[in-house]
Amino acid sequence: MPRISAQQQSDRRNEILAAAQRCFVRSGFHGASMQDICAEAGMSPGNLYRYFPSKEALIAGIAERDRAEVAHSFAEADLSQGVFKVLEGLAHYHFAQRPIEDVLLCTEVMGQARRHPDIGEISRSFDVDVRRWLRDLLDAGVARGDIPGDVDLDGAITMLMTIADGMWWRRALDPDFDPEKIVPIFIDIMRHLLRSRPKQAGESSS
Protein backbone atom coordinates (compact mmCIF):
# COMPACT_ATOMS: atom_id res chain seq x y z
CA MET A 1 0.00 0.00 0.00
CA PRO A 2 1.42 3.43 -0.89
CA ARG A 3 2.42 5.45 2.19
CA ILE A 4 -0.32 7.89 3.07
CA SER A 5 -0.45 10.39 5.90
CA ALA A 6 -2.24 9.75 9.21
CA GLN A 7 -4.84 12.34 8.18
CA GLN A 8 -5.46 10.58 4.88
CA GLN A 9 -5.76 7.25 6.69
CA SER A 10 -8.27 8.73 9.12
CA ASP A 11 -10.30 10.27 6.26
CA ARG A 12 -10.28 6.95 4.45
CA ARG A 13 -11.50 5.14 7.59
CA ASN A 14 -14.35 7.62 7.95
CA GLU A 15 -15.35 7.19 4.30
CA ILE A 16 -15.41 3.41 4.74
CA LEU A 17 -17.50 3.67 7.92
CA ALA A 18 -20.00 5.98 6.21
CA ALA A 19 -20.25 3.55 3.27
CA ALA A 20 -20.69 0.58 5.64
CA GLN A 21 -23.40 2.44 7.57
CA ARG A 22 -25.33 3.12 4.36
CA CYS A 23 -25.10 -0.60 3.45
CA PHE A 24 -26.15 -1.81 6.91
CA VAL A 25 -29.10 0.61 6.95
CA ARG A 26 -30.18 -0.41 3.45
CA SER A 27 -29.72 -4.19 3.66
CA GLY A 28 -29.28 -5.03 7.35
CA PHE A 29 -26.24 -6.51 9.07
CA HIS A 30 -26.81 -9.94 7.48
CA GLY A 31 -27.94 -8.69 4.09
CA ALA A 32 -24.96 -6.38 3.53
CA SER A 33 -21.87 -8.24 2.29
CA MET A 34 -18.28 -7.07 2.53
CA GLN A 35 -18.42 -6.94 -1.28
CA ASP A 36 -21.39 -4.51 -1.18
CA ILE A 37 -19.48 -2.33 1.28
CA CYS A 38 -16.37 -2.31 -0.94
CA ALA A 39 -18.51 -1.27 -3.91
CA GLU A 40 -20.25 1.46 -1.88
CA ALA A 41 -16.86 2.75 -0.66
CA GLY A 42 -15.34 2.45 -4.15
CA MET A 43 -12.42 0.36 -2.83
CA SER A 44 -10.91 -3.02 -3.61
CA PRO A 45 -11.52 -5.74 -1.01
CA GLY A 46 -7.76 -6.02 -0.43
CA ASN A 47 -7.58 -2.34 0.44
CA LEU A 48 -10.72 -2.26 2.62
CA TYR A 49 -9.70 -5.38 4.57
CA ARG A 50 -6.50 -3.60 5.64
CA TYR A 51 -8.70 -1.16 7.53
CA PHE A 52 -11.54 -3.43 8.69
CA PRO A 53 -11.22 -7.22 8.48
CA SER A 54 -14.93 -8.03 9.11
CA LYS A 55 -18.46 -6.66 9.38
CA GLU A 56 -18.13 -6.84 13.19
CA ALA A 57 -15.01 -4.66 12.94
CA LEU A 58 -16.99 -2.16 10.86
CA ILE A 59 -19.80 -2.06 13.44
CA ALA A 60 -17.18 -1.59 16.17
CA GLY A 61 -15.63 1.26 14.15
CA ILE A 62 -18.99 2.98 13.66
CA ALA A 63 -19.75 2.61 17.39
CA GLU A 64 -16.35 4.10 18.25
CA ARG A 65 -16.99 7.07 15.95
CA ASP A 66 -20.48 7.62 17.45
CA ARG A 67 -19.21 7.21 21.00
CA ALA A 68 -16.67 9.97 20.33
CA GLU A 69 -19.47 12.17 18.98
CA VAL A 70 -21.77 11.58 21.96
CA ALA A 71 -18.83 12.09 24.35
CA HIS A 72 -18.18 15.41 22.61
CA SER A 73 -21.84 16.46 22.92
CA PHE A 74 -21.61 15.90 26.71
CA ALA A 75 -18.11 17.35 27.08
CA GLU A 76 -19.03 20.68 25.47
CA ALA A 77 -21.94 21.14 27.89
CA ASP A 78 -22.14 24.76 29.02
CA LEU A 79 -23.64 24.71 32.50
CA SER A 80 -23.79 28.48 32.86
CA GLN A 81 -27.54 28.50 32.11
CA GLY A 82 -28.30 25.51 34.30
CA VAL A 83 -28.27 21.77 33.81
CA PHE A 84 -31.80 21.70 32.38
CA LYS A 85 -30.80 23.89 29.43
CA VAL A 86 -28.01 21.39 28.69
CA LEU A 87 -30.35 18.41 29.00
CA GLU A 88 -32.89 20.07 26.70
CA GLY A 89 -30.20 20.70 24.09
CA LEU A 90 -29.07 17.06 24.27
CA ALA A 91 -32.67 15.86 23.94
CA HIS A 92 -33.33 18.00 20.85
CA TYR A 93 -30.08 16.91 19.27
CA HIS A 94 -30.20 13.17 19.97
CA PHE A 95 -33.94 12.60 19.54
CA ALA A 96 -34.92 14.97 16.74
CA GLN A 97 -31.89 16.36 14.91
CA ARG A 98 -29.61 13.36 14.44
CA PRO A 99 -29.84 11.98 10.89
CA ILE A 100 -32.27 9.11 10.40
CA GLU A 101 -29.31 6.95 9.22
CA ASP A 102 -27.84 7.12 12.74
CA VAL A 103 -31.18 6.06 14.21
CA LEU A 104 -31.57 3.16 11.77
CA LEU A 105 -28.02 1.94 12.37
CA CYS A 106 -28.56 2.06 16.13
CA THR A 107 -31.75 -0.02 15.89
CA GLU A 108 -29.95 -2.46 13.58
CA VAL A 109 -27.20 -2.86 16.20
CA MET A 110 -29.79 -3.36 18.97
CA GLY A 111 -31.57 -5.93 16.80
CA GLN A 112 -28.33 -7.91 16.43
CA ALA A 113 -27.05 -7.48 19.99
CA ARG A 114 -28.55 -10.66 21.44
CA ARG A 115 -27.34 -12.90 18.65
CA HIS A 116 -23.76 -11.62 18.13
CA PRO A 117 -21.70 -11.47 21.32
CA ASP A 118 -19.31 -8.89 19.78
CA ILE A 119 -22.17 -6.56 18.87
CA GLY A 120 -23.84 -7.15 22.25
CA GLU A 121 -20.62 -6.11 23.97
CA ILE A 122 -20.33 -2.95 21.83
CA SER A 123 -23.94 -2.05 22.61
CA ARG A 124 -23.53 -2.66 26.37
CA SER A 125 -20.29 -0.72 26.68
CA PHE A 126 -21.81 2.24 24.81
CA ASP A 127 -24.70 2.10 27.27
CA VAL A 128 -22.33 2.09 30.25
CA ASP A 129 -20.55 5.18 28.90
CA VAL A 130 -23.78 7.12 28.29
CA ARG A 131 -24.95 6.25 31.80
CA ARG A 132 -21.66 7.55 33.23
CA TRP A 133 -21.75 10.79 31.20
CA LEU A 134 -25.37 11.41 32.25
CA ARG A 135 -24.49 10.69 35.87
CA ASP A 136 -21.58 13.17 35.78
CA LEU A 137 -23.86 15.79 34.23
CA LEU A 138 -26.64 15.26 36.81
CA ASP A 139 -24.11 15.28 39.66
CA ALA A 140 -22.95 18.65 38.36
CA GLY A 141 -26.62 19.72 38.35
CA VAL A 142 -26.96 18.67 41.99
CA ALA A 143 -23.72 20.49 42.88
CA ARG A 144 -25.10 23.67 41.23
CA GLY A 145 -28.40 23.32 43.11
CA ASP A 146 -30.42 22.82 39.88
CA ILE A 147 -31.46 19.32 41.03
CA PRO A 148 -32.42 18.55 44.65
CA GLY A 149 -29.93 16.29 46.44
CA ASP A 150 -32.49 13.61 47.35
CA VAL A 151 -33.55 12.68 43.79
CA ASP A 152 -33.03 9.01 42.84
CA LEU A 153 -30.55 9.76 40.07
CA ASP A 154 -29.95 6.11 39.17
CA GLY A 155 -33.66 5.45 38.71
CA ALA A 156 -34.09 8.68 36.73
CA ILE A 157 -31.14 7.84 34.45
CA THR A 158 -32.46 4.32 33.80
CA MET A 159 -35.86 5.78 32.87
CA LEU A 160 -34.37 8.51 30.66
CA MET A 161 -32.27 5.90 28.82
CA THR A 162 -35.32 3.63 28.51
CA ILE A 163 -37.30 6.48 26.95
CA ALA A 164 -34.33 7.22 24.65
CA ASP A 165 -34.41 3.64 23.33
CA GLY A 166 -38.12 3.96 22.70
CA MET A 167 -37.71 7.32 20.92
CA TRP A 168 -35.14 5.81 18.54
CA TRP A 169 -37.32 2.77 17.78
CA ARG A 170 -40.36 4.96 17.19
CA ARG A 171 -38.37 7.13 14.76
CA ALA A 172 -37.20 3.98 12.99
CA LEU A 173 -40.55 2.21 12.71
CA ASP A 174 -43.54 4.50 13.19
CA PRO A 175 -44.28 6.63 10.10
CA ASP A 176 -46.60 8.88 12.17
CA PHE A 177 -44.00 9.59 14.86
CA ASP A 178 -42.92 13.23 14.91
CA PRO A 179 -39.97 13.60 17.31
CA GLU A 180 -40.29 17.40 17.35
CA LYS A 181 -43.75 17.01 18.91
CA ILE A 182 -42.58 14.47 21.49
CA VAL A 183 -39.35 16.14 22.63
CA PRO A 184 -41.29 18.78 24.67
CA ILE A 185 -43.16 15.94 26.43
CA PHE A 186 -39.82 14.22 27.08
CA ILE A 187 -38.44 17.46 28.55
CA ASP A 188 -41.50 17.82 30.78
CA ILE A 189 -41.00 14.25 32.06
CA MET A 190 -37.29 14.83 32.60
CA ARG A 191 -38.00 17.94 34.67
CA HIS A 192 -40.61 16.01 36.62
CA LEU A 193 -38.21 13.09 37.33
CA LEU A 194 -35.46 15.48 38.39
CA ARG A 195 -37.94 17.69 40.21
CA SER A 196 -36.90 20.94 38.62
CA ARG A 197 -38.63 23.88 40.33
CA PRO A 198 -40.69 25.36 37.47
CA LYS A 199 -40.14 29.01 38.33
CA GLN A 200 -36.43 28.99 39.11
CA ALA A 201 -34.64 32.14 37.86
CA GLY A 202 -32.86 31.81 34.54
CA GLU A 203 -34.92 28.86 33.33
CA SER A 204 -37.84 28.86 30.97
CA SER A 205 -40.85 27.04 32.37
CA SER A 206 -41.48 23.54 30.93
Q: Closest Cα to residue 163, out of 141, 140, 134?
A: 134
Residue selected from 68, 75, 143, 185 as contacting a copy of itself according to rule CB under 8 A = 185
Asked if 195 interacts with a copy of itself (CB under 8 A), we say no
Q: Check binding of 177 to a copy of itself (CB under 8 A).
A: yes
Q: Which of residues 146-175 bind a copy of itself (CB under 8 A)?
A: 155-156, 158-159, 161-167, 169-170, 172-175
Contact flag: residue 111 with a copy of itself (CB under 8 A): yes
CA distance 64 to 198: 38
Cα angle for residues 176, 181, 184 (degrees, 5° grid): 150
Whether the Cβ atoms of residue 149 and residue 142 lie closer than 8 Å to each other: yes
Interface residue with a copy of itself, options 87, 122, 130, 182 (CB under 8 A) = 182
Instruction: Give whichever of 79 and 96 is closer to a copy of itself, judged by the CB atom.
Output: 96
Site size for a copy of itself (CB under 8 A):
42
Using CB under 8 A as the binding rule, whether residue 120 contacts a copy of itself is answered as yes
- Contact status: 196 vs a copy of itself (CB under 8 A): no
Phi first, then psi: give them for residue 201, nearest 5 degrees. Answer: -65, 145
Task: Determine whether 7 is exposed, middle or buried from the number of CB atoms within 10 Å of its CB (0-12, 13-18, 19+).
Answer: exposed
CB-based contact 138:87 (threshold 8 Å): no
Query: How many whole angstroms separate alpha carbon 157 and alpha carbon 164?
Result: 10
Residue choice 73, 107, 126, 206 for contact with a copy of itself (CB under 8 A): 107
70-81: b (≥16 Cβ within 10 Å) or e: beebbeebeeee
State yes or no: residue 57 binds a copy of itself (CB under 8 A).
Answer: no
Q: For a copy of itself, which is the closer residue by CB, 145 or 184?
A: 184
Q: Which residues bind a copy of itself (CB under 8 A)?
A: 28, 30-31, 104, 107-108, 110-115, 120, 123-124, 127, 155-156, 158-159, 161-167, 169-170, 172-175, 177, 181-182, 185-186, 188-189, 192-193
